[in-house]
Amino acid sequence: MSPERKRAKHSADKPESKQGSFEIALPIRIGIALVLVIISALFKMPVLVRTFLLIISAVTAGYDIFLSAVDTIAEKQFFSPGIVVLFSAVLAFVTGYAMEAAVMVIVFQASKYLINFIRQKAIRSARSLVDYQDEDIRGRIDEILSAEGAGKMKLQQSIESSAVFVLRILLIVAVLYALIGPFLSGISYRVSIHRALMIMLAASPVSVCVSFPVVAISGLCFSGRNGVIFNSAEVMEQSTELNVALFDKAGVFAEEAPHVIGLQSDVLDKKTFLNFLAHAVYYSDQPFAKAISDYYTQEYRLELISNFEDIPGSGVSLEIGQAPVVLATKSYFDSIDVSVPERGLSDGIAYYMTIAGRYVGRVVISSEINQEAERLVEEMIAAGVSRNILLTEDGNEQSQATADALHFTEVVGECDMDKKLRLISDISQAGQNQTAFIYANGIEGHSAADLDIRISRKGKYADAIVLPESYLNIPMGIQISHRTKELISENAIFVFVVKAILVFLSIIGYSNLWFVVFMDTVAALATLLNAIRVTTPSMLKKSAHTEE
């Protein structure tokens, strides 16, 4: 394909192409063509001269339509708008509708130029929604939007397929009308062919599809503005199908790295007690163990540690210098009928230590829960996610207390990451579940969930990232996704209704070629303007964290 034809193809058949793909001279060509049409209309001249002027006008405005049609025919894209317009123009000239044909080509070219201009303005406006995010976030969103197919949803593909199917049906209707119209209504073949051409033009899918990427990009940017960044429009669309969300407590509702907030021992001095604590948790991966390890600054004597055993969600047991040591929560000691004191407890989770069965002291680990998160489950349900499950590494008693505080009706405690991933896999494979795993850290890969949503500023394997300060906006991100799909559907229905009216007017003869193209353009522009309603907070379901 020659470079000239490539440029012509982009300008003639792809209103969604970049503004730079249109020739700079196109407005000048349209102006010249329009002057020729006006001259042919205002001045008396022989029919052949007038027809010749109109042909020159059409060629001046739309020669690239012909070049595009040659290429699309070679690619077997027989239903492209350019081919329909070219075929309609040629047949209109042949059947004596030269003026309509010339004006139609001018309107078609002008409409594409205008649609593309408005579309690019809308996309720039959508991108401006994230101007106040930091450079890393803007860069990530720009990278997402520049990826091929980033603004395309499955719904869009389905509507486009339907539009092509309708076009084919209407082409058959148009051909049949052209052939049998004179027998049914007594009109001439010239008139029946003219009306058939209007039906074909009304069926063109251009205005159906032009707003879809703009709506999707607006949704992606609006969600990104609120700290929920989907990797693509298709991922955003998938979030609307979620019915199960599994939340990892660590890093989402509580500190990802808890810290020691208190030590107390009536038997050992602080240094000795801390030494025992640090050696007790050396081989544990539980969050409280890391907090103690970070607090300890001395050398380890690992040869003293033996028979180590993790007690998921509750603590550890081991031997230090052959002395049996248990560091665990009170609920664990209660389960083995060992009494430990509760006096003087402070905020946080207390872990008690016994050595050779004798209580020696306790350490208190921070466990701060964001109280604002108590509405998150309610808002997830409002966004369509009916089942929300809390996964924690705490003991069952502490896990249930956290779940009650955050209004989770389902909680699974004593979970290390392997157990969490197995649980996610089991739930994802059950029934009609569409699952999301919402986590802050702990895996380097993708879980078995349909969507992985990471609370972080980075996420190589996640389908979406949520800024740590914006995790309460996850329901809003899902609502924006729902609204995006709704607007695409609304735009498609609106355009199909307009086209149906145009087909009806064409059949009864109350239209003409250029008017059909003009009204199709008006419909396309209306859908582009409607796209900005994605960013209207009042169009979303009420959310406590919706930006006013």
548 assigned to some structural domain: no
* CA angle (305, 306, 311) in 5-degree steps: 100
- Whether residues 354 and 385 fall in one domain: no
Query: Which pLDDT belongs to residue 13?
Result: 40
| pLDDT tens-digit series, residues 460-498 | 889 999 998 888 999 999 999 999 999 999 998 999 899
CATH of residue 358's domain is 3.40.1110.10
Please check whether residues 250 and 278 belong to one and the same domain.
no
Residue 343: predicted pLDDT: 64
d(CA 538, CA 230) in angstroms, rounded, equals 22
Residues 6+ apart with CB under 8 A from 486: none
**In this structure, are 358 and 392 located in the same domain?**
no
Q: What is the pTM of this model?
A: 0.78
**Alpha helices (H) along 128-185:** 135-146, 154-185
Has residue 319 been placed in a domain? Answer: yes
**Is residue 472, in this structure, part of any structural domain at all?**
no
* Tally of structural domains, the chain: 3
Domain that holds residue 218: 3-227+478-539
- The residue from 433, 449, 465 where one domain ends is 449
CATH of residue 249's domain is 3.40.50.1000
Are 400 and 314 in the same domain? no
Do 425 and 501 lie in one domain? The reply is: no
Residues 339 and 407 in one domain: no
Give the pLDDT of residue 483: 92
Task: Give the E-state strand segments of 312-431 in sequence order.
Answer: 315-320, 323-328, 349-355, 358-365, 387-391, 410-412
Instruction: State the pairing for strand pair 451-455/464-466.
Output: parallel
Q: Which of 308, 331, 365 delimits the end of a domain?
A: 365
Residue 467 lies in a domain: no
**Residue 356, domain member (yes or no):** yes
In this structure, the answer to whether residues 219 and 248 fall within a common structural domain is no
CA dihedral 425, 390, 262, 372 (to 10 degrees): 140
Segments of the chain scoring below 50 in pLDDT: 1-22, 542-548
Same domain, 265 and 306: yes
Q: Is 547 part of any domain?
A: no
Are 210 and 177 part of one and the same domain? Answer: yes
Whether 249 and 340 share a structural domain: no
Please return the burial class of 509, using the count of CB atoms within 10 Å of its CB with bins 0-12, 13-18 and 19+. middle
Task: Check whether residue 267 and residue 201 sit in a common domain.
Answer: no
- pLDDT for residue 332: 86
Co-location of 269 and 249 in the same domain: no
